[in-house]
Amino acid sequence: MSRALIIGATSAIAEATARILAQRGWHLYLTGRDPQRLEAIALDLKLRGAASVNFQTLEANDFAAHDLMLARADAALHYFDTALIAHGTLSDQIACESSFELALQEITTNALSVVSLSSRIATRLAARHSGTIVVISSVAGDRGRQSNYVYGCAKSLVTTFLSGLRQRMHKYGVNVITVKPGFVDTPMTAAFAKGLLWSKPESVAAGIVSAIARKRDVVYLPFFWRPIMLMVRLVPERVFKRLTL
């Protein structure tokens, strides 16, 4: 493993992950929406030791562009063996409650685009009988809460989809990793007050790289979110519906 396609490469978590891979001399292909940021990140990754860095712009919701992007990534990397899907938006829950169109847009960005990308990537890696697909889902997908259930349901869709994809890909030697971070201090969460449970993108990135090396299936990052979410899932619905979370 040493040739990674990174989708949503301008995300703080993806960039921190790419830095670790660059220091290990990987070949990288980046996609994102902002060409200037991509160019700056690519330059930085080359200086950090990446064997090669190429990039292109990609709007994740432009499903018709996915196959061409994957063909370009394969050409630039001489066939990628690892794909990280990291893009996402933290939905405005209140606005989504009064606008189905906005809710649909959020679900499209956070879930349907991931289904399209991971399906197409899986087809390519299955034909090679090896590879790793890493997708950033979220602890928010483990249970719907009134404060963010539009974002949560999109991540839940991703988590369930990946569970099925993992089973399907196992016989092809393709590993599918679901990453479930808790609270991470990134531009996505800039408006939130930070506390004890918060992590830095660098520590989540280290967890992602370790999960790739160890061929993990589902990782909570940091690890303590696994017992926290187990407890959250165990609360009976009769009690849960009365809580303000």
Ligand X SMILES: NC(=O)c1ccc[n+]([C@@H]2O[C@H](COP(=O)([O-])OP(=O)(O)OC[C@H]3O[C@@H](n4cnc5c(N)ncnc54)[C@H](OP(=O)(O)O)[C@@H]3O)[C@@H](O)[C@H]2O)c1
* Token pair recorded at residue 142: 């483990």
Residue 33 vs 215, nearer CB to ligand X: 33
Residue nearest ligand X (C-beta atom): 88
Per-residue mark of binding to ligand X, 190-219 (x: CB under 6 A): ------------------------------
Which residues, 173 to 192, sit near ligand X by CB under 6 A? Answer: 181, 183-184, 186-189
Residues 111-130 contacting ligand X, CB under 6 A: none
Identify the residue among 23, 25, 33, 217 touching ligand X (CB under 6 A).
33
Q: Tell me, by CB under 6 A, how many residues bind ligand X.
A: 25
Residue with Cβ nearer ligand X (132 or 186): 186
Alpha carbon 9 to its chain's center? 10
Q: Which is nearer to ligand X, 85 or 169 (CB)?
A: 85
Residue number with CB closer to ligand X (131 or 181): 181
Is 151 noted as a catalytic residue in this protein? yes
**8 A C-beta contact, residue 18 and residue 6:** yes
Instruction: Tell whether residue 67 is a contact of ligand X (CB under 6 A).
Output: no
Alpha helices in 144-215 (DSSP H): 149-170, 201-213
Q: How far is CA 147 from CA 77, 188, 228, in A?
A: 41, 16, 18
CA pair distance 83, 9, nearest whole angstrom: 11
- Position 34 contacts ligand X (CB under 6 A): yes
Tokens of 156: 């839940």
C-alpha to C-alpha distances, 206 to 43, 199, 238, nearest whole angstrom: 21, 12, 38
Instruction: Tell me: does residue 5 bind ligand X (CB under 6 A).
Output: no
Q: What six digits make up the tokens of 35?
A: 């060409």
Residue given tokens 């649909």 in the structure block: 104
35: cis peptide before it, omega within 30°? Answer: no
Residues involved in catalysis: 151
| Interface with ligand X (CB under 6 A) | 8, 10-13, 32-34, 59-61, 86-89, 109, 136, 138, 181, 183-184, 186-189
